[in-house]
Amino acid sequence: MTSPYTLVFDLDGTLVDTAPDLITALNYVLDREGLPAVPMASARNMIGAGARKLIERGLEAEDRTVTPADMDRMTADFIAYYADHIAVESRPFEGLLDALDLFAAQGHRLAVCTNKLEWLSKRLLDQLDLTRRFAAICGADTFGVQKPDPTIFRETVARAGGDVKASIMVGDAGTDVGVARRAGVPVIGVSFGYTDVPIADLKPDRLIHHMRDLPAAAHSLMTA
């Protein structure tokens, strides 16, 4: 048994497979602009840097640019639609609940550190009955900075009541590896998430391909 750690999770593509609902919201906005839908398979790797960036990437796929005012309007439309359809098809990744149960039973703290807006993150986790599992849920607007800025990681750990020196980041993309490196903590990469650069190429300290492998990967870092 190791001393209690704080395990900090990314949300989209790490805890929850949110791609179906995010891409549906993106395509809703694109349709309103008279643009074709983005295929689900290719759009998955557009996710991960917030709503505005997702829309920008969707527009780039059609070689379209818009004014800042139009982008503001499209982002607001996206958020409004997504908030009302946030958990239609989104589901926790297989094996996640068992892993969280094990960590909780071992006395570890759990937290969420995401570039999604905090209120949207909480709404999603509420609807999936996951909120109660986390000591802190922090988003892009919680501290005024986004990953990979290490401030968001450090403040998330502090809000969870943990110690950065005894913490681990779990994520699927470059922002997650980046925030861990800048905060000076180890990172576990998941290969089933959303990233334009394969997570293995980013050299996380551990790489898993299924959530059932998370407890062993975390334990190996805790005891290293």
DSSP β-bridge partners for residue 124: none
Chain centroid offset of residue 95 CA = 17
- Cα dist. 170→26, 103, 111, 189, 211 in Å? 26, 13, 10, 6, 11
End-to-end CA, the chain: 13
Do the annotations mark residue 172 as ligand-binding?
A: yes
191-217 burial code (b ≥16 CB/10 A, e <16): eebbbeeebeebebbbbbeebebbbeb
User: Are the CB atoms for 111 and 159 separated by under 8 Å?
Assistant: yes
Close Cβ partners of 223 (under 8 Å, ≥ 6 residues apart): 2
Do the annotations mark residue 84 as ligand-binding?
A: no
Active site residue 17: no
* Residue 174 phi, psi (nearest 5): -60, -35
- Cα dist. 21→87, 88, 117, 119 in Å? 7, 7, 15, 16
Do the annotations mark residue 21 as ligand-binding?
A: no
Which is catalytic among the residues 10, 17, 21, 205? 10
- Residues making up the annotated binding site for Mg(2+) are 10, 12, 172
- Residues making up the annotated binding site are 10, 12, 172
Q: Which residues are catalytic?
A: 10
